[in-house]
Amino acid sequence: MDRDDEQLVAQVQAGDTAQFGVLYDRYIEPIYRFVYIKTHEKETAEELTGDIFLKAFDRIASYRAGNRGFRAWLYGIARHRVIDYYRRKRSTVSIEDAWDIPAQDGTVQETTDARLQFERLQECMAFLSQNERDILMLRVWEDMTHREIAAVLGKREAAVKKMFSRAVQKLKVIFYERSEIHR
Amino acid sequence: MRDQRYTDEEVIAAFAQERPDIVIDPNFVVRVREKLSTKNAFIFKRAYMQKKWFAFGCVGLAAVVLVVWGVLTPERTLGAELVYVEGAVLYRTGGGVWQEADVDTGLREGDGVKIIGEGKAIILLDDGSAVRLNNDSEATLAALDPEHMQVVNEHGQVYTRVVKAKRLFDVAVNDTIYRSLGTAYMTVNTDETQGVEVYESAVAVITSENSQEEETVVPEGSAYYEVHVEAPATVGEVTVLEAAAVKADEFVTWNQDEDTEIASVQDEVEPKEEEKIAEEAATVVREETKNEVVAVKEEVKEQVQEIKKETKDVIVAMKQEAKELQAAATPGVSTVSRITLTADAPEPGHVSWAVDGNLALGMDRGVRVLFSKTPNPTLGSSLALPVGWKNYSKIWPKEGTGTYYVRVCEFLGDTCGTYSNEVTVTVIGSGATGEYFDKSAGEWKSNRSANGPAASSVSSITLTADSPEREHVSWIVNGTIVQGMDRGVRVLFSKTPNPTLGSSLALPVGYKNFSKIWPKEGTGTYYVRVCEYLGANTCGTYSNEVTVNLVAPG
């Protein structure tokens, strides 16, 4: 998949901009999903996802693969866009995605099932730092390698592995106590 | 000490099941596609271009020519990228339109960067040198030739940290060139002041009026101005920088902080780099001919440049990581004076609370909800439910239905700090006794038979491998799954046939009818069954058995 991405990017940079459509089709859903989980709102997720792809298209001329690959580059843009959105929205408080927002400001999901899913997830996410949340989501839900995640977050691979391990240990406590509740 | 009864793999598998189902609106997908199409007429309109193959052919041929040209004429110039952005930072490609810049924006020869108003930016060149811009400044990467690098200070304050190498490094201010003879200096180009201030090593001043042999050298700790409205007597002279003025200059002290961090890491890195280079060169000399020695040294030189470039990234990452670790390891201070608890808020069966003051921040901190059927529940005698940022919690019927006494406390590690008032909450229904919460009715209902475990009405479960995609299984239940806590479906998988609850990993599944099979025992073929779980470590109806092959990630 990574080699395909690089070939497509090279073609776009060479002038065949129609190939960006292939990249768009490939990544619109996973990027939207990533942004939605971080914002909890359909309208906000749609607005930011649209911005992300417009920005990616504008900047693709200056894209250089290096060690990270197109997917990590794109997720990096997505992550920065969400952080930027919340920083402008709440300039006096350190909020970088919706999981940082106290419950009274929480958003309402569209269906009861979705609300229950997010409520369950809140119990995990509330105890994790923003980096730990992103690393878990990207590793477990998006199947990214530690190396790619390091490129997305702008960190060393070793630091990502350490944070992932720490996040898993935190989840153990949460799941253990949840199982106690359900006994 | 908690009983950590889950393995890492089980936790990861459980977290994987937590992923919310997100469905994208297809109309949204179309809208964004249309927006992109307005940016470029060729994008996405393949269907409409079917009659215009000639136009496509020309574009394709041009693309092929460009790609081949790119291959045959490898880039001779270095690149750069923005590694720090603060405030309104813009960039442009060549002489093009100014666009919003961000961290990781790649730059090439001819590109420009500017800051509008307050802000800062750091451009890291591929040779490891750094160009840093202050408020209201603009710089152009005029030449990124590995033999001769040139930056133009179009306006404002531009600080340059130059890596020692055998090549020329110039910063131009109007017609004057400030050539690095060492490492760190700042050029200034405003209406009031034009010149250079040298903070490390030296800079040569080359103007149209002098030759290189007569060039003025500005040593460390000195300045040279072509224009200085406030001190006209210093124009054209090498003058000493006043220490007080340097210390008071926020941009200069910021740059010196950045340089200090780089130096502290380079002290560790450079000896190792030189050791590595010397070792490789010695090996080559022993085994290769003279031409091969030259080729390998060029390759090592490139690797060293790459390592120096990565050093800057490492420093930034280390700073951030240290900050996070310190925040995690150093619990904050609590200023909580009171916690007010309200029963049945925001809805029945819940409690919510308001905190006067600030909770201590850090790992192993937060708020604990203590609830029990006996008054004054404490951490030790009742279930503590850790809560993060939420200010409400549902009271689960841990001890069955009935009235619970509830308190909330600020958790300070092993102990509680401030406690709230106590309230009572009536909890309806209990999974322990075989009840389930009927979402549509909004109430708990019993599904227990008179004696023993709940009766099952499932007659069969049909399991399919690699559905809905590879390395997954999905199932169809004939009958109704017994509802309630500690019920549902268990996916049993193992590398040995007929996996059971006891001998293999049981993965509790909620509403979904599919699951991914995780490589708990490594890659290979897994035997998979699904059963209806009836609680008390008992399975009811089993499905057929299938096999799923797990391969290593590609």
For residue A62, give the nearest of B14, B105, B328 by CB distance.
B105
Q: Are residues B138 and B194 in the same domain?
A: yes
What is the least distance, in Å, from the CA of B235 to any CA of chain A? 41
Our measurement of the distance from residue B194's CA atom to the centroid of its chain's CA atoms, rounded to an integer in Å, reads 40
CA dist., res. B129 & res. B184, Å (int)? 10
- B60 to chain A: which residues are within 8 Å by CB? 16
Q: Is the pLDDT of residue B45 over 50?
A: no
Q: Are residues B183 and B88 in the same domain?
A: yes
pLDDT in tens, A45-91: 999 999 999 999 988 888 887 657 899 999 999 998 998 888 776 55
User: What is the pLDDT averaged over residues B261-270?
Assistant: 53
- Are B44 and A181 within 8 A, CB to CB? no
Q: How many beta carbons lie within 10 A of that of residue B67, not counting itself?
A: 16
Q: Are residues B68 and B85 in the same domain?
A: no
**B187 domain residue, yes or no:** yes
User: What is the pLDDT averaged over residues B100-119?
Assistant: 89
- Are A141 and B16 within 8 A, CB to CB? yes
**Residue keyed to tokens 């099932």:** A113
- B391 to chain A: which residues are within 8 Å by CB? 102-104
B553 CB near a chain A CB, below 8 Å? yes
What is the least distance, in Å, from the CA of A171 to any CA of chain B? 7
CATH code for the domain of B352: 2.60.40.10
A107 CB near a chain B CB, below 8 Å? no
Number of helices (H), then strands (E), belonging to chain B: the values are 6, 33
- B316 to chain A: which residues are within 8 Å by CB? 154
User: What is the pLDDT averaged over residues B251-275?
Assistant: 65
B391 → chain A, closest CA residue: A103
**B255 domain residue, yes or no:** no
CA dist., res. B426 & res. B444, Å (int)? 13
> What is the span of the domain harbouring residue B92?
80-241
- Are B328 and A11 within 8 A, CB to CB? no
Q: Are B325 and B291 in contact (CB under 8 A)?
A: no
**B148 domain residue, yes or no:** yes
For residue B20, give the nearest of A17, A37, A171 by CB distance.
A37
Q: Are residues B472 and B543 in the same domain?
A: yes
The residues, ordered by sequence, that sit 6+ positions from B73 with a Cβ below 8 Å of its Cβ are none
Most confidently predicted of A19-23, B289-293, B482-486 = A19-23
The residues, ordered by sequence, that sit 6+ positions from A57 with a Cβ below 8 Å of its Cβ are A20, B36, B39, B40
Q: Are residues B360 and B487 in the same domain?
A: no
Task: Provide the residue type at A40 as one letter.
Answer: H
Which residues 46-65 of chain A have a CB within 8 Å of chain B?
46, 49-50, 53-54, 57-59, 61-64
pLDDT in tens, B174-232: 888 898 877 789 999 988 899 999 988 888 888 765 555 456 888 888 999 988 888 88
Q: Crossing angle for the helix pair A19-39 and A69-89, nearest 10 degrees?
A: 40
Higher model confidence: residue B554 or residue B400? B400
CA dist., res. B472 & res. B464, Å (int)? 9
The reported pLDDT for the residue numbered A181 is: 43
Most confidently predicted of A15-24, A82-91, B428-437 = A15-24
Q: How far is CA A164 from CA A76, A146, B363, in A?
A: 18, 9, 15
What is the least distance, in Å, from the CA of A42 to any CA of chain B? 9
Half-sphere exposure of B163 (CA within 13 A, CB side): 23
CA dist., res. B176 & res. B196, Å (int)? 10
- A112 to chain B: which residues are within 8 Å by CB? 439
Q: Are residues B300 and B420 in the same domain?
A: no
CA dist., res. B145 & res. B497, Å (int)? 65
Q: Is the pLDDT of residue A150 over 60?
A: yes
φ/ψ of A138, rounded to 5, equals: -70, -35
Residue B458's SS3 state is coil
CATH code for the domain of A47: 1.10.1740.10
Q: Are B488 and B481 in contact (CB under 8 A)?
A: yes
For residue A29, give the nearest of B18, B24, B62 by CB distance.
B24
- Work out how many domains chain B is built from and give that number: 5
User: What is the pLDDT averaged over residues B295-303?
Assistant: 75
Beta B402-411 vs B106-107: how paired, if at all? unpaired
> What is the span of the domain harbouring residue A143?
2-181
Q: Are residues B196 and B53 in the same domain?
A: no
Q: Is the pLDDT of residue B417 over 50?
A: yes
The residues, ordered by sequence, that sit 6+ positions from B139 with a Cβ below 8 Å of its Cβ are B112, B113, B114, B123, B131, B133, B151, B152, B153, B154, B158
A43 CB near a chain B CB, below 8 Å? no
**B223 domain residue, yes or no:** yes
B65 → chain A, closest CA residue: A14
Q: Is the pLDDT of residue B74 over 60?
A: no
Q: Are residues B94 and B191 in the same domain?
A: yes
Nearest to A49 by CA among A27, A69, A70: A27
pLDDT in tens, B307-317: 777 777 777 66
Average pLDDT score over chain A: 80
Q: Are residues B232 and B103 in the same domain?
A: yes
Nearest to A35 by CA among A69, A91, A68, A74: A74
- Are A124 and B18 within 8 A, CB to CB? yes
φ/ψ of B448, rounded to 5, equals: -85, 145
Average pLDDT score over chain B: 75
Q: Please state the ipTM of this predicted complex.
A: 0.85
- B384 to chain A: which residues are within 8 Å by CB? 177
CA dist., res. B340 & res. B534, Å (int)? 40
Q: Are residues B84 and B61 in the same domain?
A: no
B497 CB near a chain A CB, below 8 Å? no
**B508 domain residue, yes or no:** yes
Q: Are residues B117 and B151 in the same domain?
A: yes
B53 CB near a chain A CB, below 8 Å? no
- Work out how many domains chain A is built from and give that number: 1
Q: Is the pLDDT of residue A183 over 90?
A: no
For residue A182, give the nearest of B14, B20, B485 by CB distance.
B485
Q: Is the pLDDT of residue B41 over 50?
A: no
Q: Are residues B318 and B363 in the same domain?
A: no
Joined tokens for residue B27: 């109309």
